[in-house]
Amino acid sequence: MELNRGFQLGDWLVLPEESRIRGPTGDVHLTPRAMAVLVYLAEQSGRVVSRDEFNEQLWAPAVVTDHALTQCIAELRRALDDSPAHPRFIETVPKRGYRLSATVTPIEATRKEASSAASRTQRHGWIARAGMAMFTALLVAAGLWLLDPDSGPEFKQHSIAVLPFERIGVEPALPLADGLHHDLLTRLSDIEDLRVISSTSVRQYRDTVQTIPEIARQLGVVWVLEGAVQQIGAEVQLNAQLIDGRDDTHAWAKTYRRSLTAENLFAIQAELIEDIVGYLATELDPDPARARFRPTDNLEAYTLYLRGRAFADLRTAPGLRQATTYFRQAIERDENYALAWVGLADALTLLYDYGYAAHEEVVPDAQAAIQQAKDLDPKLAEAHASLGLLYTATRNGSRAVQSLERAVALRPSYAEAYNWLAWTYLVLGQPERALENAVRAVELDPMSPEALSNLLLAQIGTAEHEAALAAARQTGDMELAFTTFQFYKALALYHLGDPRAIELLDGLSAAWAGEGPRATLALAYIARDEPDRAREVLDAIRATDDAFAIGLVKAALGQVDQAIEIFMNIEEWDYWPALSVHFLYPEVLDPVRRDPGFEAIMHQALLSHGGKPDT
């Protein structure tokens, strides 16, 4: 009986190729392993299937524990709303195995296709309502591969995505699942030649209805790791399975169980890393010391650290201040906990960078915390990245580059550090170097809006306007809350001489760029030989006292001497003026560049961000 196209099981429509079932309560996604069990039971409907038969027919030569099969049966019963005591679908036959008792009816291919079309329609409607929360997922699902819009991602053999771990019976106050997941990604990304997708991208797939091959294709990876963390009394258990994303076959499934201590949590991570690397390839050579890195032996300190990181991720003033409290409490429990010192430094730095606290209130403490972390572990990539972040926030770009380069040397798959490097290089007027790092950041974190925006800006900075437009055009299909993408799309259109730039720029704002969108609107009017309209925009800009925007429009209107005088009087160059004077508007600023005073202008712009004339 051929069932892979789909079959009816009582009130449920089972769609194996989509790893989901549809019934009275709606659609339910199944893990690939659970679906394989259901299909095999359906193929053997009415017959008892033993555990040994499941192993032989579904998973050989991989070794799968009895517990893994029990989990699959439990998952199926939850999905089908079935009861072991009064089964309507799956019966347990003591000491023999399992039997599917419900009637199985294969469906025609046409019915399956109609169901898939209906599902796609519903999913698209849900995405449209989700807005920004699903923005990055839409980029990837739509095939937005910014490195080459005409092709999908490259599948590198040594590439892996670790999906968020499921929580089973874990105390809410003990964020073990997220902590284990984050730390595992961190340790894996230390391994040279292994491409590890960042947490920003994989967290989009928590509770996803997509299949493993779909996820692997979207992220451009070969291997996908699924896992579930279970707290059983005073013990913790991690059930993990490594899956080949190309064909949804299971490489192995293993269970790691220990008493609940910090030492054992990190031991589980180390053992899992060794198992992953051992299966993927012998030439992947993790540093044994880093693979078995144990940041703390204090479980309470580890828990406080995880809470601090969760609050820091909120990026709000109350969230960051609460994060500093948790990090300080973690340090009180273990003063040698280097990552807690890094967390404290990052929270303090972000309080300053976002304008929530004054320099003297937080920056000295952030500097001291980073130094403490580096003293405890000189090879801790997070400590060097934290120092790079602090240097960027305090406008010391050259030193930021040095620290961030050190961080990615220590951790080759450090997506966030590559992203910060891209931005720093952009502000320092080096778009080619920025592009190299932005490409790497997007490879490792394809769903990060920040990484994508840095890539678009680097493409504009290197005059790859068609490539930038091809990418930005697809982001515009959303009702964008992230107006930076709209601004970059408009910039690309402007450089290509496309009049649609005016439509997009009219009324557009991007807070970080000040009067950048409105100044670009004036330039677009000038390019269309409508100087009067440009002057109207200029009058509106004058009311804001944005000196650079005023000077830029004057330069475009041919008033070069006035523009130079304005630029010479700017002491602190913010982000958008610095980016602009370096590379955003070359055709407008070329006459300014020929003036003898331009060297002093560029010198001041570089100094404002800690750059050097020869950087």
DSSP 285-345: ---HHHHT----S-HHHHHHHHHHHHHHTT-SHHHHHHHHHHHHHHHHH-TT-HHHHHHHH
Rounded CA gap, 22 and 521, in Å?
Answer: 51
User: What is the model's pLDDT at position 272?
Assistant: 86
Range in 284-293, 376-385, 564-573 with the lowest mean pLDDT: 284-293
Choose the final residue of a domain: 393, 424, 455. Answer: 424
Do residue 467 and residue 544 come from a single domain? Answer: yes
In b/e form, how buried is each residue of 91-117, taking b as 16+ CB within 10 angstroms? Answer: ebeeeebbbbebebeebeeeebeebee
Asked which of 106-115, 137-146, 228-237, 553-562 is least confident by mean pLDDT, the reply is: 137-146
In a domain? residue 412: yes
Residue 585 · residue 516 · CB < 8 Å: no
Q: How many helices (H) and strands (E) does the chain have?
A: 29, 13
What percent of the chain has pLDDT above 90? 45
Residue 551 has pLDDT above 50, yes or no: yes
**Which of 2-6, 308-312, 554-558 is modeled with the greatest confidence?**
554-558
Mean pLDDT of the chain: 83
Of the candidates 313, 356, 347, the one whose C-alpha atom is nearest the C-alpha of residue 328 is 347
Residue 62's pLDDT is: 61
Which of 363, 331, 334 is CA-nearest to residue 347?
A: 363
Measured CA distances, 277 to 69, 183, 272, 290, 439 (Å): 25, 16, 9, 14, 25
Domain annotation covers residue 130: no
Does 479 have pLDDT greater than 90? no
Are 53 and 20 found together in one domain? yes
**521 and 549 share a domain?**
yes
Statement to judge: residues 235 and 348 lie in one domain = no
Q: In one letter, which amino acid is 557? A: L
DSSP-assigned beta bridge partners for residue 239? 228, 255
According to DSSP, the residues that pair with 223 across neighbouring strands are 160, 244
Q: Is residue 442 part of a domain?
A: no
SS (H, E, C) 362-378: HHHHHHHHHHHHHHHCC
pLDDT (mean) for 476-505 = 82
- Quickly count: other Cβ atoms within 10 Å of residue 172's Cβ: 6
DSSP one-letter code for 163: P
Instruction: Give the per-residue pLDDT at 286.
Output: 54
What CATH number does residue 537 fall under?
1.25.40
Same domain, 104 and 181: no
Binned at pLDDT 50, 70 and 90, residue 381 comes out as: very high
Q: How high is the pLDDT of residue 419?
A: 93
pLDDT of 454 reads 92
Q: Are residues 400 and 319 located together in one domain of the fold?
A: yes
| Selected residue with higher pLDDT from 429 and 85 | 429
- Give yes or no for residue 155 having a pLDDT over 80: no
**Residue 252 reports pLDDT greater than 80:** yes
- The CATH number for 262's domain is 3.40.50.10610
One domain for residues 275 and 312: no
pLDDT at 5 over 90: no
**Nearest by Cα to 71 from 298, 262, 227:** 227
In terms of domains, do 553 and 489 share one? Answer: yes
Q: What is the pLDDT of residue 458?
A: 95
More confident residue, 223 or 144: 223
What average pLDDT score do residues 252-278 get? 85
For the segment 422-441, the average pLDDT, to the nearest whole number, is 94
507: in domain: yes
Is residue 505 within 8 Å of 483, Cβ to Cβ?
A: no
H or E element at residue 385: helix 381-393
| pLDDT of 175 over the 80 cut | no
End-to-end CA distance of the chain: 69
Closest listed residue to residue 564, CA positions, set 525, 534, 600? 600
Q: Which residues contact 543 (CB under 8 A, 6 or more apart)?
A: none
420 and 332 fall within a common domain: yes
Q: What is the pLDDT of residue 500?
A: 93
Q: Is residue 436 part of a domain?
A: no
Per residue in 196-207, pLDDT (tens digit) is: 898 878 887 877
CATH number where 372 lies? 1.25.40.10
Q: What is the mean pLDDT of residues 365-392?
A: 96
The yes-or-no verdict on residue 51 having pLDDT over 70 is yes
Q: Are residues 219 and 285 in the same domain?
A: yes
| CATH code assigned at 42 | 1.10.10.10
Strands 104-106 and 90-93: unpaired
Instruction: State percent of the chain over pLDDT 70.
Output: 84
Distance CA(414)–CA(186), nearest Å, equals 8
Residue 538 CA to residue 519 CA, distance in Å, equals: 7
Burial 39-60 (b: 16+ CB within 10 A, else e): bbbbbbbeeebeeeebbeebbe
Q: Residue 185 contacts by C-beta under 8 Å, 6 or more apart in sequence?
A: 162, 196, 198, 199, 202
The radius of gyration computed from the CA coordinates of the chain, to the nearest angstrom, equals: 28
Go through 315-351 and write b for each residue having 16 or more CB atoms within 10 A of its CB, e for each that does not.
eeeebbbbbbebbbbbbebbebbbbbbbbbbbbbbbb
What does the pLDDT average to over 376-392? 95
Reduced to 3 states (helix: H, G, I; strand: E, B; else coil), residue 260 is: coil
Does some domain include residue 458? Answer: no
Q: Is the distance from CB of 266 to CB of 294 less than 8 angstroms?
A: yes
Number of structural domains found in the chain: 4
Whether 374 is in a domain gets the answer: yes
Q: Which amino acid is at 173?
A: A
The verdict on 27 and 96 lying in the same domain is yes
**Is the model's pLDDT at 520 over the cut of 80?**
yes
Domain final residue, candidates 291, 317, 337 = 291
Last residue of a domain, one of 109, 138, 167: 109
pLDDT of residue 169: 59
List the domain range (segments joined by +) for residue 44. Answer: 7-109
- The verdict on 550 and 489 lying in the same domain is yes
Q: How many CA atoms lie within 13 A of 475 on its CB side?
A: 28
Residue 64, pLDDT > 70, answer: no
Range of weakest confidence among 100-109, 356-365, 436-445:
100-109
Q: What is the pLDDT of residues 492-510, one digit of tens each?
A: 999 999 999 999 999 998 8
Residue 614: inside a domain: no
Query: With 90 as the cut, is the pLDDT of residue 369 above it?
Result: yes
